[in-house]
């Protein structure tokens, strides 16, 4: 795989997210997709709804950053690592996780009543395609992902590099993909009892 935090690496990770989600969601029947493993836990549909909300929340700032950036690099295959503090946050989010976090209101999942797995899969794949399109646009324009800063979508006083935004979205997706897989495992085990 290409160097971690390069354009090609990010594109490959979002392509992988599409493939993983498609294979996983198609393996889950509609009933289990909306079934909570325990009171207060999210069902698989809610996990994907949360991922879509989270990605969409970051997306506009990231897209504007790519479009408006004047910071460029001519170095092909350049790596854009996050700053130390954000790297610590990325490491914290890595699955498997040991500590759950409280979800803030803006990122809570939508009610999955009325959703079906194919609609959520389409929305999730569309988000990945939009992220990839922005990365390809940035790569074409030689945008320096580590020098271009955007405001955090919820805490506007916090400025993050584009690379940090992409890194957080990417690891957050893997964190919750793992959660979805654990949820299905619990549901399957409960049905065997």
- pLDDT tens-digit series, residues 62-107: 999 999 999 999 887 899 999 999 999 999 999 987 777 777 776 7
Write out the two tokens for 85: 């503090």
Task: Tell whether the model's pLDDT for residue 114 goes beyond 70.
Answer: no
- Residue 105 carries which DSSP code? G
pLDDT tier, 191 (very low <50, low <70, confident <90, very high otherwise): confident
Backbone torsions φ then ψ of 178, nearest 5 degrees:
-60, -45
Write out the two tokens for 124: 């999730």
Domains, the chain, with CATH or none = 7-186 (1.20.120.450)
pLDDT tier, 2 (very low <50, low <70, confident <90, very high otherwise): low
Cβ pair 51, 125 in contact under 8 A: no
pLDDT tier, 1 (very low <50, low <70, confident <90, very high otherwise): low
């Amino acid at each position: 795989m290409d160097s971690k935090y390069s354009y090609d690496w990010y594109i490959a990770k979002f392509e992988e997210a599409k493939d993983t989600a498609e294979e996983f969601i198609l393996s889950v029947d509609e009933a289990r997709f909306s079934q909570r493993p325990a009171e207060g836990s999210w069902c698989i549909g809610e996990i994907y709804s949360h991922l879509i909300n989270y990605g969409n929340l970051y997306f506009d700032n990231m897209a504007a950053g790519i479009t408006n950036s004047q910071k460029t690099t001519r170095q092909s295959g350049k790596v854009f690592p996050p700053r130390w503090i954000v790297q610590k946050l990325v490491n914290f989010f890595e699955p498997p996780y040991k500590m759950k976090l409280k979800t803030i209101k803006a990122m809570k999942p939508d009610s999955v009543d009325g959703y079906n797995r194919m609609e959520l899969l389409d929305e999730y794949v569309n988000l990945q395609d939009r992220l990839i399109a922005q990365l390809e646009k940035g790569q074409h324009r030689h945008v320096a992902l580590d020098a271009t800063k955007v405001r955090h979508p919820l805490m506007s006083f916090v400025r993050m590099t584009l690379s940090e935004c992409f890194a957080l979205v990417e690891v957050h997706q893997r964190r919750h993909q793992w959660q979805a897989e654990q949820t299905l495992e619990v549901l399957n085990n409960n049905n065997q009892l």
